[in-house]
Amino acid sequence: GAVAGGLMMLAGTQAFAVTIGFSQVGDEGDWRPAFSKDMQEEAKKEGIDLKFADAQGKQEEQLRAVRAFIAQQVDAIVIAPVVVTGWDQVLKEAKRAHIPVFLADRDVDVTDKSLYVTRISADFNLEGRLAGAWLAQASKGNCKIVELQGTTGSAPAIERHKGFETIIKEFPGMEIVKSQSGDFTTEGGKKVMEAFIKSTDNLKGICASFAHNDNMQLGAIQAMKEAGLNPGKDLLMVSVDYVPAMKKALAAGEANASVELRSAIGKYIYPVVLNYLKDKKPLPKWVVIPSDLHTAATPGS
Ligand code: AHR
């Protein structure tokens, strides 16, 4: 990489500055910008020259950014992929250029796993299972559910749905009756819940809203309030991320549970990348970051 900025690291006798290209999804919701900020702050602490590219939710932008990082001969590339498909070609190009690729947060679906070093992220499937298990207990296994899905084709939407289904299948009284994507945004969640309210005669017979992220749930809460309904009481509200606005909603009784997705994960990601650049030791394909579920009674630290 270019010897510009960054900490001078010693690799054998040669001193070099580490340059990392990071292709981020965008800035949807409250969680994603918190993650971006953490990646920038932690890079500074580690003395990394971070090239940050915001794809504004578009995979084409990510492909362009990754190709630009390859052209700049960065030392490593970190990608938080918008969707799981469509990565083989560009990852092959990075491999040919001998630039190691690390996945952060979201996953890719590639047959040749040697195209990336490792993925550092939470277990989205477990998040879905935690949400499902909490709801099974809270509803005594009897619940018609509306689901607000994340971005179609993204790892968290696919895995949270799968994990949640795994659990509710165990309970004959539990069923997802409506499911639609709100694209991980507050506005998207609000629109989807407005449509659900209309198509179910004010959520008649519905017992819960499972949202793949807090922002969609916060939008759903707004939609319910505007329709004169009581989120957290008329419906059990369970979602993922545990962002500050959701903590408030939990404390106010307008939501009931949220699975924490840590946003301060630069401290997990950079050491993995830096160690790999030093010793090139193969790593397990997944470095898992823990998840836990919170309610108003168990807010955690
Ligand atoms: O990939 C993780 C998901 O992406 C978060 O749960 C969501 O808020 C974000 O947009």
- pLDDT at position 10 over 70: no
Asked whether the beta carbons of 174 and 142 are under 8 A apart, the reply is yes
Mean of pLDDT values over 145-163 = 98
Query: What band does 4 get if pLDDT is binned at 50, 70 and 90?
Result: very low
Query: What band does 291 get if pLDDT is binned at 50, 70 and 90?
Result: very high
| Cβ(128) – ligand 1 distance below 6 Å | no
Q: What percent of the chain has pLDDT over 90?
A: 94
Between these two residues, 134 and 15, which has the higher pLDDT value? 134
Query: Which residues, including other chains, have CB under 8 Å from residue 110's CB and lie 6 or more apart?
Result: 87, 88, 91, 116
> Which residue's CA lies nearest to atom 3 of ligand 1?
156
- pLDDT at position 1 over 60: no
| C-alpha 75 – ligand 1 centre gap (Å) | 27
| C-alpha 32 – ligand 1 centre gap (Å) | 6
Mean of pLDDT values over 275-282 = 96
Between these two residues, 183 and 8, which has the higher pLDDT value? 183
| C-alpha 156 – ligand 1 centre gap (Å) | 7
pLDDT digits (tens, 9 = 90+) for 205-220: 999 999 999 999 999 9
Asked whether the beta carbons of 244 and 217 are under 8 A apart, the reply is no
Residue 235: strand pairing partners:
231
pLDDT at res. 13: 40
Q: What percent of the chain has pLDDT over 70?
A: 94
- pLDDT at position 202 over 60: yes
Q: Is the pTM of this model over 0.80?
A: yes
In terms of Cβ atoms closer than 10 Å to its own Cβ (0-12, 13-18, 19+), residue 84 is middle
pLDDT at res. 17: 82
Mean of pLDDT values over 261-269 = 97
Query: What band does 12 get if pLDDT is binned at 50, 70 and 90?
Result: very low
| Cβ(183) – ligand 1 distance below 6 Å | no
| C-alpha 28 – ligand 1 centre gap (Å) | 8
- pLDDT at position 88 over 50: yes
pLDDT at res. 32: 98
pLDDT at res. 6: 43
Produce one character per residue of 245-258: b if its CB has 16 or more CB atoms within 10 Å, e if not. Answer: bbbebbeeebbbbb
Q: Tell me, what's the ipTM?
A: 0.99
Return mean pLDDT, the chain. 95
Residue 15: strand pairing partners:
10
Mean of pLDDT values over 4-30 = 71
The CA distance from 25 to 112, in Å, is 23
Q: At 94, is the secondary structure helix, strand, or coil?
A: helix
| Cβ(156) – ligand 1 distance below 6 Å | yes
pLDDT at res. 220: 99
The CA distance from 43 to 49, in Å, is 7
Produce one character per residue of 170-203: b if its CB has 16 or more CB atoms within 10 Å, e if not. Answer: ebeebebebebbbbbbbebbbbbbbebbeeeeeb
